[in-house]
Structure 1
Amino acid sequence: MTDTDILLTPFSLGNITLASRMVMEPTITSLANDDGSVSRSLMDFVMARAVNRPGLIVLEAAYVHPTGKGYVRQLGIDHDGLLPGLTELVSAVHSHGVPIFTQLMHTGRYALPQALQAQPVAPSATRPRIPRDPPRELTREEIAELVQSYAAAARRARRAGFDGVEIQAGSGYLVSSFLSPYANKRTDRYGGSLENRARFLLEIIDAVRQAVGPEYPVICRFNGDEVMEEGNTYEEVVSISQLAIDHGVTAMNLLMGWHESQKPVVTMEVPQDHWLPLAARLRQAWQVPVIMAYGLHTPALARQALIVGACDLVGWARPMIADPELPRKIRENREEEIRPCVACCAGCFGRVFRGYSLTCSVNPWAGREGEYRTEKPSLIKKVLVAGGGPAGMQAAITAAERGHQVKLLEQAGRLGGQLRLAAIPPYRQRWQSFLTYLEQELPRAGVEVITGAPLTSGALEAEKPDVLIRAVGAIPARLDLPGLDRWPVYPAVEVLEMPELPPGRNWVVIGGGLIGLETAEFLAARGKEVTVLEKEKSLAKDASAFDRAGLVRRVREKARTYTMVSEIRVEWPSLVAIQGDTAITFTPDAIVLAVGMEPNPALNELMLAAQATETFAIGDCLRVADILNAVHQGAEVGNLV
């Protein structure tokens, strides 16, 4: 883009001027040391993004009080002993001309038990709808102590050299749980009326402002919509936020939903521009600058948000996890090279919320930036990759980027493997953007790609590779059920690629895991009457926590589902499912098998006979897992050779 690109125009935020409208948003990484100090991994993560010069970095949430630590290896700012690491990080970011704020947070009732190792605290003893320990109600004395802990943390941030601070007042964490009538059931001066519920936030803002002075930037991260049935109304949101502005916040950082919201907020099924109208409405109500994230995952959407007046600054958390070079690629007119965030949430939220360090499905080095070998190998090797799924493509790209001579052979007529299939079901099309990215990266990295070319002994003899990487994926598991073949029977993976479905209205899907439910939704969208039979108690147990609820809800709206099916038998022309003591009879026109995948044994013998110095098996042909594992294994092997 040119210098007139609205994303690249400067913007004044309080007493500092940002070089662009692009903000790296805070997100918990669980990369700090166990004691809350800055680790080498956290430094590497931040600096990999700072060198690409976003207009502003807002560092991840740092707990302001020992009771506020809610995540494993969460960053802290609750005592002066943490200042050396924070100061070093700030100085490193500043060396690239990038201002940096830090977010101040108390996790409250969302604290992971293994992180806090104590009972969480909250305005009331209202248990969250996600798996957490029940909280206890804070006393008035404890509330006063916490207010001062925010002030002390802000003072500490300024001493460390941070250019500003952000108060986390959303997402269901402690401050927002005070604000919301859903979580706040107090009857004293901190509960009940809107003014009382807002008191904790306003006291924090006042204390922070007194600690850092009138000119120091203070942002408030705030829910435009809690997406909670018993939460604040739009009118209450406007009223509370206006009180925060009146008490001296410099800008509002808009977010949507709580972590326990029962409706989707940040996943693939939410259109990327879904929150723009609400953001535009709130920006008109607020007379301070507005930062917005939530769905603006492409430069085009980010520009649209700025142009229509939905925000003044665009916030990117997950997009900059996926591609640390995002701001640089925009400045250098290389937007087609941006590695896209697909909103799968598997490597970021999905891992951190379970106590693991952040990573990314599409960026295998996220959270492991220091492990990537940037030096060129002393010996250039001839690398042959068999299989063009996500594992094979990523292995080929990584090996070629390091300087090796790489050829990729794919038996099918096109690349993608399971990644191509993942992009077919409803609401999953964003996987296609990642497949397109990999397909374009292969020639950019210098990989020779040949499709429609299975690896044979003759081809192996002709190539004589130094390194052979087997990445031939998985094949559908079979179901041995006498008489089942009297119906048309299709593996789920074949159904998803059918340009036209065979005739017959009534389809039975055997298997209620992720692929079974995605195939059921695919069939229902094409007018089929669908029944899903699952032996387990729950549906889609292998889906990510962020996808599962929405997928199960949608399938149950469109199809009949039966769980705890102990037996299926054929009583032609009927299919009988046993559920407890009940026999349920169906008369299907076609049957879909979705009973799992198995490693593809193809090329096992060829690998054993290969004369290559190094041989590797990666992806689903080694162990059936997910796209994240396939991409990571490919990158690791490509980095190893």
Structure 2
Amino acid sequence: SAIRSPISSFTPREMSDDDIERSISDYARAASLAQGAGYDGVEIMGAEGYLINQFLAPRANQRTDAWGGSPANRMRFAVEVMQRVRRQTSARFIVAYRISMLDLVEGGCTWGEVVALAHAMQDAGATMINPYVGWHEARIPTIATLVPRAAFVPLTARLKRELRIPVVASNRINDPAVAEAILARGDADMISMARPLLADPEFVRKAAAGRADEINTCIACNQACLDQAFSGGQTTCLVNPRACRETEVRVERARRRRRVAVVGAGPAGLACAVTAAERGHDVVLYEAASAIGGQFNLARRIPGKEEFQHTLRYFARRLEVTGVELRLGRPVAADELAAGGHEHVVLATGVTPRWPDIGGIDHPSVVSYADLIAGRVTAGHRVAIIGAGGIGFDVAEMLTHADPEGDTPLERFAAAWGIDLGVRVRGGLVPARDAVSPREVWLLQRKPTRLGQGLGKTTGWIRRAILERKGVHMLGGVRYERVDDAGVHIVVGDEPRVIPADTVVVCAGQQSRTELLEPLRQRGIDLSVIGGALKAGELDAMRAIDDGVRVAIGL
């Protein structure tokens, strides 16, 4: 129907009968061409709010002819596509159908309609059914890192009990143990993965060999894959910058073994150390802290970002496997590096929080984001956050987090976002029942623009929605005057205001830590600088890990 999608700038015209017939023929011709080109099968996309899904849901299909109205009429387009594809391909050719089992939009399908469609696809000759959840325009996260692993598999299992043909499980399945448990329970016949294979193309081989601890786990951040794809960039992977660049970023045996020191075991230093060791170099990794991780050790403490710990688990194992010598728990000096016989030193010393020039910034109520996230200080009931970049949002989410009612992570997630896991209502949406924030939080920024504009394209809306739901006061265009016992004195436009705060958290950016740079240069040591030590700005783990890998392959 001629209804504009919320994520589109254009209102479509209603398809004519000729348009519909031509589209059905195009599906069938495309499948036939794929078979002729040597493919074993195709998957017909009937989910995520694309054309077939639009015919199925009253939200987008308000036609009154033979293609709309009743469930049977709304299902007709999907059925005729499958039938036509089957007539133009061989019996052995695989034709999967991706079905939307939970639309997560108003005016979506009912569970009864989903089951009826699955039966119709089975009868029309589908080889298998691949269930999915959510339209692109849905305001419910389905694949981001805060979504529990295998969150929607219970619905997949429910659909599987209705069918004779194989059913596939997908959505946030990034661990072989989780996948194996799904199959062992009989919840699905197959597992579908996409992003986990960008993170580690050796996923299946490692799992089969009993080396699951060596898998580079997808953390569902979307930063380098979906965000790049939807922004016109080159798709890759934050934790594996070689993804989609395998011919460009080649990790090959070094012509000559060198002794290399890497200073700093954050994401950049870890990536550099293990890559250099894989190439055959003798690598020593120095870290002043008692554990590896750097900024990832802070990120993994943010509610919804717990997956980040698996990147550190992966790197810890790779350090062992590649034979990197790890020296933890004390800073290393330039003299020690010079005396260590290192032919090359890589500075990956990261960043330190930047303190803005504001009166009273040394007030006892003022703390750094690093101290707060690490648990070295505790915030009061009223909190003002100076700086609304990614870290400012992290801090706001952590300070306002409280679990809603529910016995499992899935139940709590569904309650917080208003998901009807039983699909008792059309589209699967119910009123959200999130827990109340334990604090009153103000998130402030100097820029007059909307807060969170620099967040990820596919996840920024989620983070803004969380803070809005928690009642966080978000204020832009702020000029900071001073901090004192009354709180944070600001000016917005021409209006002076005081934000009462027991705690003021500084999230005003970072500065590169380069204390070793000049001493090493003075000693004539061959060196490289990577990650936050090279460029602080807004913390960028994607760039940091990419830096580490690229410097290592150049050694």
Measured in 2, the distance between the counterparts of 1:626 and 1:224 equals 36
- Asked if residue 379 in structure 1 is aligned to residue 293 in structure 2, the reply is no
Residue 638 of structure 1: aligned partner: 552
Measured in 2, the distance between the counterparts of 1:430 and 1:379 equals 37
Measured in 2, the distance between the counterparts of 1:610 and 1:447 equals 25
Q: Is the 8 A contact 2:252 2:553 kept in 1?
A: no
- Asked if residue 569 in structure 1 is aligned to residue 485 in structure 2, the reply is no
Residue 591 of structure 1: aligned partner: 504
Moved more, 392-401 or 481-490: 481-490
Residue 399 of structure 2: aligned partner: 523
Equivalent of 2:388, from 512, 528, 538? 512
Paired amino acid for 1:147: I
Q: Post-superposition shift, 1:149?
A: 1.5
- Asked if residue 413 in structure 1 is aligned to residue 310 in structure 2, the reply is no
Q: Is the 8 A contact 1:383 1:405 kept in 2?
A: yes
Residue 332 of structure 1: aligned partner: 209
Measured in 1, the distance between the counterparts of 2:516 and 2:276 equals 21
Q: Cα deviations across residues 381-427 of structure 1 (Å, max 9, x unaligned)?
A: 11111111000110010011011111111122221111111111111
5 Å-filtered alignment, 1:85-234, equals 124-130=1-7, 133-234=10-111
Moved more, 190-199 or 380-389: 190-199
Over 3 Å counting, the alpha-carbon distance change for 1:357 and 1:190 in structure 2 is farther
Measured in 2, the distance between the counterparts of 1:252 and 1:190 equals 23
Moved more, 512-521 or 359-368: 512-521
Q: Post-superposition shift, 1:461?
A: 1.6
Q: Cα deviations across residues 167-206 of structure 1 (Å, max 9, x unaligned)?
A: 1111122222222222223333223322222222112111
Give the match's secondary structure for 2:148.
Answer: coil
Q: Post-superposition shift, 1:499?
A: 5.0
Residue 251 of structure 1: aligned partner: 128
Residue 494 of structure 1: aligned partner: 371
Measured in 1, the distance between the counterparts of 2:130 and 2:294 equals 40
5 Å-filtered alignment, 1:311-350, equals 311-350=188-227
Measured in 1, the distance between the counterparts of 2:278 and 2:396 equals 40
Give the match's secondary structure for 1:379.
Answer: coil
Give the match's secondary structure for 1:517.
Answer: helix
Moved more, 337-346 or 577-586: 577-586
Q: Post-superposition shift, 1:572?
A: 4.4
Measured in 2, the distance between the counterparts of 1:460 and 1:570 equals 43
Give the match's secondary structure for 1:546.
Answer: coil
Over 3 Å counting, the alpha-carbon distance change for 1:618 and 1:572 in structure 2 is closer
Give the match's secondary structure for 1:147.
Answer: helix
Q: Is the 8 A contact 1:531 1:559 kept in 2?
A: no
Over 3 Å counting, the alpha-carbon distance change for 1:249 and 1:158 in structure 2 is same
Q: Which runs of 5+ in 1 are unaligned?
A: 1-123
Residue 541 of structure 1: aligned partner: 453
Q: Cα deviations across residues 125-154 of structure 1 (Å, max 9, x unaligned)?
A: 333323555444333222212211121111
Measured in 1, the distance between the counterparts of 2:288 and 2:540 equals 21
Q: Is the 8 A contact 2:251 2:275 kept in 1?
A: no
Give the match's secondary structure for 2:489.
Answer: strand
Give the match's secondary structure for 1:407.
Answer: strand
5 Å-filtered alignment, 1:1-20, equals none
Q: Post-superposition shift, 1:245?
A: 1.8
TM-score normalized by structure 2? 0.88
Q: Which runs of 5+ in 2 are unaligned?
A: 403-437
Measured in 2, the distance between the counterparts of 1:304 and 1:393 equals 31
Q: Is the 8 A contact 1:386 1:471 kept in 2?
A: yes
Paired amino acid for 2:198: I
Equivalent of 2:532, from 589, 607, 620? 620
Paired amino acid for 2:279: R
Paired amino acid for 1:561: H
Paired amino acid for 1:282: L
Moved more, 158-167 or 598-607: 598-607
Q: Post-superposition shift, 1:357?
A: 2.4
Residue 532 of structure 1: aligned partner: 443
Q: Which runs of 4+ in 1 moved over 6 A?
A: none
Residue 441 of structure 1: aligned partner: 318
Paired amino acid for 2:242: W
Measured in 2, the distance between the counterparts of 1:519 and 1:374 equals 37
Paired amino acid for 1:302: A
5 Å-filtered alignment, 1:278-293, equals 278-293=155-170
Q: Is the 8 A contact 1:395 1:638 kept in 2?
A: yes
Q: Post-superposition shift, 1:456?
A: 1.6
Equivalent of 2:491, from 578, 597, 604? 578
Q: Is the 8 A contact 2:344 2:525 kept in 1?
A: yes
Measured in 1, the distance between the counterparts of 2:492 and 2:187 equals 52
Give the match's secondary structure for 1:485.
Answer: coil
Give the match's secondary structure for 2:551.
Answer: helix
Q: Is the 8 A contact 1:520 1:559 kept in 2?
A: no
Moved more, 430-439 or 539-548: 539-548
Give the match's secondary structure for 1:468.
Answer: strand
Query: Number of residues paired by the alignment?
Result: 516
Computed over aligned residues only, the root mean square deviation of the Cα atoms, in angstroms, reads 2.0
Aligned-pair identity (%): 34
Q: Post-superposition shift, 1:339?
A: 0.9
- Asked if residue 556 in structure 1 is aligned to residue 468 in structure 2, the reply is yes
Over 3 Å counting, the alpha-carbon distance change for 1:132 and 1:640 in structure 2 is farther
- Asked if residue 294 in structure 1 is aligned to residue 205 in structure 2, the reply is no
Q: Is the 8 A contact 2:100 2:131 kept in 1?
A: yes
Measured in 2, the distance between the counterparts of 1:549 and 1:273 equals 22
Higher relative contact order (CA 8 A, sep 6+): 2
Q: Post-superposition shift, 1:582?
A: 4.3
5 Å-filtered alignment, 1:457-468, equals 457-468=334-345
Moved more, 304-313 or 574-583: 574-583
Equivalent of 1:629, from 540, 543, 546? 543
Q: Cα deviations across residues 494-523 of structure 1 (Å, max 9, x unaligned)?
A: 210015616x42221112222112112222
Q: Is the 8 A contact 1:346 1:544 kept in 2?
A: yes
Q: Is the 8 A contact 2:287 2:328 kept in 1?
A: yes
Over 3 Å counting, the alpha-carbon distance change for 1:487 and 1:134 in structure 2 is farther
Measured in 2, the distance between the counterparts of 1:380 and 1:172 equals 54
Q: Post-superposition shift, 1:311?
A: 0.8
Measured in 2, the distance between the counterparts of 1:621 and 1:571 equals 30
Give the match's secondary structure for 2:20.
Answer: helix
Measured in 1, the distance between the counterparts of 2:390 and 2:396 equals 10
Give the match's secondary structure for 2:385.
Answer: strand
Over 3 Å counting, the alpha-carbon distance change for 1:215 and 1:513 in structure 2 is same
Moved more, 631-640 or 193-202: 193-202
